[in-house]
């Protein structure tokens, strides 16, 4: 089960929200603090989105953080579908896997036997380290979607009301305990740190 049947009344890592404004500034030129003061036309473009977003701040820090971090949900990369093991079930990408399952079969097949043996001796690892995949669910989005840990936007928590009351009004889905754990572990791996025990929120 990918999503929780009975969502917690608290906002937890991995919760999905509808209609939040995700945005990113894209400068038209390379600017620094020194050149900006002399620049007469420091043009920027803004990338706005109004789809689904998932909160990626750790569950235990959400009540006390000044800013909460979110990632917009995006269509799957085509290269994910090119990996046979992931094409069958893209959510496999959320967990560690054997090396031969992390790449397209033709790419694995051209490796020498020595390379294959060396890779198989290594422990399981993540493919597409900066991505996490969400199952499609009837009534919301029919196909798999993903987040990219590189694409983060923040919301100041002081505008969300007591206990994130305003944010809860936009929540549409909450991950199951198993899916939330997979997200937590992959984020921890992405940031090269072990997840804190205190952040391992159960239900």
Predicted confidence at residue 202, as pLDDT, reads 45
What is the spatial distance between Cα 177 and Cα 203, in angstroms, rounded to a whole number?
Answer: 7
pTM: 0.82
What's the pLDDT band for 106 if we cut at 50, 70, 90?
confident
Predicted confidence at residue 80, as pLDDT, reads 94
Domain count, the chain: 1
Site of tokens 């094409």: 87
Provide the residue range defining the domain that includes 38: 1-73+147-175
**Torsion over CA: 120, 121, 125, 127 (sign):** negative
Q: What is the mean pLDDT of residues 3-27?
A: 86
Task: Give the dihedral of Cα atoms 27, 32, 192, 203; nearest 10 deg.
Answer: -50
Q: What percent of the chain has pLDDT over 90?
A: 52
Residue 79 falls within a domain, yes or no? no
Q: What is the mean pLDDT of residues 61-78?
A: 93
Residue 169 falls within a domain, yes or no? yes
Residue 11, pLDDT above cutoff 70 = yes
Residue 170 falls within a domain, yes or no? yes
Residue 180 falls within a domain, yes or no? no
Structural contact between residues 184 and 110, judged by C-beta atoms closer than 8 angstroms: no
Residue 63 falls within a domain, yes or no? yes
């Amino acid at each position: 089960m990918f999503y929780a049947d009975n969502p917690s009344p608290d906002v937890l890592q991995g919760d999905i929200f509808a209609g939040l404004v995700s945005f990113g500034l894209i400068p038209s030129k390379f600017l620094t603090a020194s050149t900006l003061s002399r620049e007469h036309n420091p043009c920027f473009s803004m990338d706005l989105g109004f789809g689904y977003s998932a909160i990626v701040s750790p569950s235990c820090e959400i009540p006390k953080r000044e800013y909460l971090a979110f990632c917009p949900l995006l269509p799957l990369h085509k290269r994910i579908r090119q990996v046979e093991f992931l094409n069958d079930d893209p959510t496999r990408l959320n967990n560690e896997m054997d090396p031969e399952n992390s790449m397209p079969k033709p790419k694995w097949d051209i490796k020498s036997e020595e390379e294959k043996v060396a890779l198989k001796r290594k422990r399981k690892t993540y493919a597409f380290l900066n991505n996490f995949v969400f199952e499609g669910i009837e009534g919301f989005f029919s196909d798999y979607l993903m987040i990219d840990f590189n694409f983060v936007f923040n919301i100041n928590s002081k505008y969300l009301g007591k206990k994130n009351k305003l944010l809860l009004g936009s929540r549409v889905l909450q991950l199951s305990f198993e899916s939330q754990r997979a997200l937590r572990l992959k984020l921890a791996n992405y940031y090269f740190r072990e997840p804190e025990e205190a952040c391992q929120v159960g239900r």
